[in-house]
Chain A
Amino acid sequence: MKISTKGRLATTTALATIGLIAGMIWWANQEVEDASASRRLTTELTRGLTELRLVTFEYMLRRHERPREQEREVSARLDHLIEAIPVSGAGQSEVVAHLREQSVAAHRLFEELVDAPVADGATAADAASIRRFEDQLSSRLLILQQESLADAFRLTDFSTERITAAQQRVVIVILAGLALIALTTGGGAWLINRNVLAPIGKLEQATREVAAGNWNYKLAIASNDEIGEMSRNFDAMTQSLRMSFAQIERSNQELAALNQEIEAFSYSVSHDLRGPLRSMDGFSLALIEDYGDKLDDEAKDSLQRIRAASQRMGRLIDELLGLSRVTRAELTLKPVNLSEIAREIADSLAQQQPARVVQWDIEQGLTVRADKALMQIAMQNLLENAWKFTSKTDNPVIRVGAVEHNGQKECFVADNGVGFEMAYADRLFGAFQRLHHESEFPGTGIGLAIVQRIFRRHEGKIWVQAKPGLGATFFFRLKEQGQ
């Protein structure tokens, strides 16, 4: 059963019990009121009967017209009272019927007494018989009236009993009702403890276990209520978490295996692929050196081409390894001063080609939070590109700085070199993609692929704006910017 259903049931029971108690009190009140009314009537009846007896005595003594009238009046009043008495129960109705009969009988006897001959003026013998008759009549009348009084008292007793019974019943009902309410409350508290608080404790323990990484923890509360439902949902949730976790673990293992393969592959490339190139270059040179006098210019040129190609392939392999190293490198994020790095690279480039005059415009205090080694590689590639592609420009300017865009700092490396058509911009960041001929601008076409990979590893972004003949500006943004 659901907890909400149990709660509703307990509330309904308590309310019904309270209603029952209230009903019982109302009923008992009615009963007491009825019984009181009835007792008032019987008291009046008793008083009437006593009055009737007095009137009868008075008449018997004096034979006056007034007590006779009074008897009639009291009799009639008593008849009304008898009819007015509410009858409940067989015993009571019997008593009332008896009372009614006696009242009729008593009245008839009184009438007989009234109609009886008077002893005064009669013979002694007649007077004596008349007296005997009168005595008989009055004795019977008094007995009847005495019995009626007894009946009236019995009726009073009935009413009193009714009141007492009603009061007792109210006490019993109240006690039973209170017991029922106590039972409902206690039962409710016990049920709440067993069905709600204890399972919530278990649930709390379970969340703690799962939070600590125990994915195999099972709650397993079997009840059919909301908590049971929640427990099943919780278990389903941990199971799906467990499965996701296992899936992630598997993927991670696969990734690690893949990484290891890549590592082994790079190692092999680094060691084995360069060997044959060395042989090609070395033995070509040996031919030129040892047999130069026997070779014509074309043969020498061919050998030079073999050497140039070998060396170029050596560079390509190195750069590919560089790209793979950038992918595998562990990131150590620290504040990195880009201005300093740019200045050092600019100085080193100027030293390598002192004949070139380039205006460097490097903003001071450019700091980003990144991996220093990778940022150095990225800046090296970007600045070398700018240096290279301004080599045919008059008054070359290379600028390094930052702009604020949508509340985020975007750094840039800008040059006024050859630039390119924006239509090719997407291809620019692919490995071995070049927009110029090697004879125009030397290079392997892997530098920007490395740069892009570095920013991706930082969850950052790099993009470019360029125009042919006007130069190119590379913007980049890192996920987390330093101060």
Chain B
Amino acid sequence: MSEMSKDILLVEDNPDDVTLTLRAFKRSHVMNTITVARDGIEALDFLFARGAYEDRAGAPLPTLIILDLKLPKLDGLGVLKALRADRRTRLLPVVILTSSKEEQDLISGYSLGANSYVRKPVDFAEFVEAVKVLGIYWLMMNQSPPEAVP
């Protein structure tokens, strides 16, 4: 894990949402590689090169994680907690992209160290707009934290 890629990890279990999110990225001309994890455990395996992703040992971390909250096995807040507890991923930008705008989810998300919280709109045009802004901000404007801060 020596250098930063400009990859995105999308943690999302709903295949429709995966398709639509990928489509939205494509339509807003975000060309970065997007890896999809279908549940919380898979996301952590990918990031920490475990289980099915053992061969990823040494591979760079994604620049941005887009995290749904409602996930099988381990939910989004669990993933966030595990990320923030690990030295390697504690500063990695995480954007929560979810259906819920329940106050409790917002509070939990931010208190566990989410960098941003975006609600998926029903209107796909709005969704594309949101994803576009996200891509521009997090992949182009934002300066990523230096890796492996002691």
Contact = CB atoms under 8 A, between A and B. Distances in A.
Interface string B1-38: 00000000000001011001001000000000000000
Interface in B93-128: 98-103, 120-125, 127
Given A275-B14, A275-B17, A278-B17, A267 B100 contact: yes
A311 B122 contact: yes
B122 A314 contact: yes
A178 to B, nearest CB: 85
B102 A281 contact: no
A133 B101 CA distance: 158
Contacts of A283: 16, 20
Contact of A279 (B20, B69, B125): B20
B70 interface: yes
Contacts of A325: 103
A266 B102 contact: yes
A286 interface: yes
A282 interface: yes
A288 to B, nearest CB: 10
A281 B122 contact: yes
For this complex, into which size category does the number of interface residues on chain B fall?
20 to 34
A56 interface: no
A275 B99 contact: yes
A271 to B, nearest CB: 5
A278 B16 contact: yes
A277 B122 contact: yes
Interface in A270-319: 270-272, 274-279, 281-286, 307, 310-311, 313-314, 318
B127 A282 contact: yes
A286 B24 CA distance: 10
A89 B103 CA distance: 114
Contacts of A310: 122
For this complex, into which size category does the number of interface residues on chain A fall?
20 to 34
A282 B99 contact: no
Contacts of B23: 282, 286
A270 B20 contact: no
Contacts of B100: 267, 270-271
Contacts of A277: 122
A377 B123 CA distance: 24
Among B16, B70, B99, B102, the most chain A Cβ lie within 10 Å of the Cβ of B99
A275 B97 CA distance: 12
Contact of A267 (B14, B102, B120): B102
B95 to A, nearest CB: 17
Interface string A376-418: 0000000000000000000000000000000000000000000
Given A271-B69, A275-B16, A286-B23, A281 B123 contact: yes
A198 to B, nearest CB: 57
A311 to B, nearest CB: 5
B123 A311 contact: yes
Contacts of A307: 123-124
B102 A270 contact: yes
Nearest to B98: A271
A282 B124 contact: yes
Contacts of B102: 266-267, 270
Given A271-B69, A271-B70, A285-B125, A278 B101 contact: no
Contacts of B124: 278, 281-282, 284-286, 307
A285 B98 CA distance: 20
B71 to A, nearest CB: 11
Given A267-B100, A271-B100, A278 B70 contact: no
A253 B125 CA distance: 45
Contacts of B14: 275
Contact of A278 (B69, B103, B122): B122
Contact of B20 (A266, A267, A278): A278
Nearest to B16: A279
Nearest to B21: A282
Given A278-B16, A279-B16, A271 B99 contact: yes
Contacts of B70: 271-272
Contact of B16 (A270, A282, A314, A318): A282
B99 A270 contact: yes
B69 A270 contact: no
A277 B14 CA distance: 13
B69 A274 contact: no
B14 to A, nearest CB: 6
Contacts of B98: 271
Nearest to A279: B16
A79 B98 CA distance: 141
A318 B124 CA distance: 16
Among A271, A272, A278, the most chain B Cβ lie within 10 Å of the Cβ of A278
A274 B125 CA distance: 15
A274 B20 contact: no
A313 B122 CA distance: 9
Nearest to B122: A314
B99 A274 contact: yes
Nearest to A274: B99
B134 to A, nearest CB: 16
A205 to B, nearest CB: 47
Contacts of A284: 124
A43 B16 CA distance: 144
A272 B127 contact: no
Interface string B43-71: 00000000000000000000000000110
5 contacts: A278-B124, A282-B127, A283-B20, A285-B125, A311-B123
Given A274-B99, A279-B16, A279-B17, 4 more contacts: A275-B16, A286-B20, A307-B124, A310-B122
Kindly list the 8 A-B residue pairs having the minimum CB-CB distance in the complex, ordered from nearest: A314-B122, A282-B124, A279-B16, A282-B20, A285-B124, A274-B99, A270-B100, A277-B122
